[in-house]
Structure 1
Amino acid sequence: MTFKDYLPAFVVAGYALAGVLGWLRGRVGVRGRKPLAVAVWVLVVATSLFWLVAGAGLSGTITVLAIFVVLPFVVIFLSQVLGRARRKRANDDNLPPIWPAVLLAIGALAFCIPAANLILNGLSSLVGLDHNVDLLVTATEDTSTFEDGAPRTVSGEYLLDGTRVFVDRSWWFDFGLLPAEADTIPVSVAPMWPYPVYESTWSATLMTLFGVALLIPGVPLALLALRERGKVA
């Protein structure tokens, strides 16, 4: 068995131990609570980082931390600085902070912009506003077992208006066998960047639905951001 086979056991054991320490914290004296609280937080953070590094690699971990930890911290810090200057300028210390509205707006944009791109590209392909080309397959990768979290992919090249375009690891959602290397297959290319390749109507539909799914958290975040913006306007 590989390390990844034992990974869930390590993660469960780490969180379970943190839960036991948290339970003990409520049953010890005041002096022992702080060390146990520190131990719980250290264990939770260490287990989470261990899980993240093992699953996403070092570069993936850095990216996730930058997006979900560093970026929110920077936004909150800058918003607090601007808020202090705003309160000083208005001579009113009771003005509500602006960082919740800024953070919610960034979160909304992070979901809504990719959603709009996926939906518009997918619908354009479904109604015939795409480009039909022949893709020369140069490589395939079958990860349908999801061992590394990736779907099946196809790489290749095609000609569009006399320009040779290279496709690197395009997701392949069609059922059945992957095309073989050197095969030429008809595909459609969406009209907007990043110009995704759809091998079938099913592929375009699936990516459109994925865009719609991104709106589920994106729209409420946008509404919350507008409500928070109204409080500080």
Structure 2
Amino acid sequence: MTGQILIVDDEPAIRRLVRGAIERAGYSVSEAQTAAEALIEAHREGCELVLLDLGLPDRDGLELVTLLRAIDRAVIVLTARDATAEKVAALDLGADDYVVKPFDTEELLARIRAALRRRNSIGNISAPLVIGRVTIDLTARRVSRDGEDVRLTRKEYAVLAELARHPDRVLTHAALLRAVWGDAHVDDVEYLRVTMRGLRVKLEDDPAAPSMFRNEPGVGYRLVA
């Protein structure tokens, strides 16, 4: 494995648990228990991803999300705060993902792999994205299923393209609505629901049990790649 993962949490037991799981998976790890320590460690060469608790003793973790993204660190929020508003706020500030405690370590490792894969693929959006039977080619503006072109509406393609630029990352309703419909429609979630239904019908094996387009209730959507 390359790069280092920084664990930011003021609870020693949580840091030990997470560190053990991550090191067994082959990653190198550093730790911080305050926001001040986190900013020092995050600036060190080699740090790629930060697992960030929001309830830090010296500063609210949400403030750190913006600062960490400004220095190009991937951020997965790892916290006991499970309110939808907190999730939306963290994701809108630039967090790559949001995992609520208590958590399954295998799921956490999968989220870490996805965030690092996404980070390392930035700048290579010219390569088609293949998800099962579906191929999304943003350069050619072509979407196919089993090699056959799929006809999408302009809004369906725009939503799909936005999700495909950020595979495996939750994009909030507001972020998708702003990108596709504009600032005046950030509260018109029904527009997005209708468009997502169309995408599922055209691209999913079973639209009633979607595997490509995951809904995060009250938060947004994730394209599972």
What TM-score does the superposition give when structure 2 sets the normalisation length? 0.28
Greater relative contact order: 1 or 2 (C-alpha under 8 angstroms, separation 6 or more)? 1
Select the structure of larger CA radius of gyration.
Answer: 1
Higher helix residue share: 1
Higher strand residue share: 2
What TM-score does the superposition give when structure 1 sets the normalisation length? 0.28
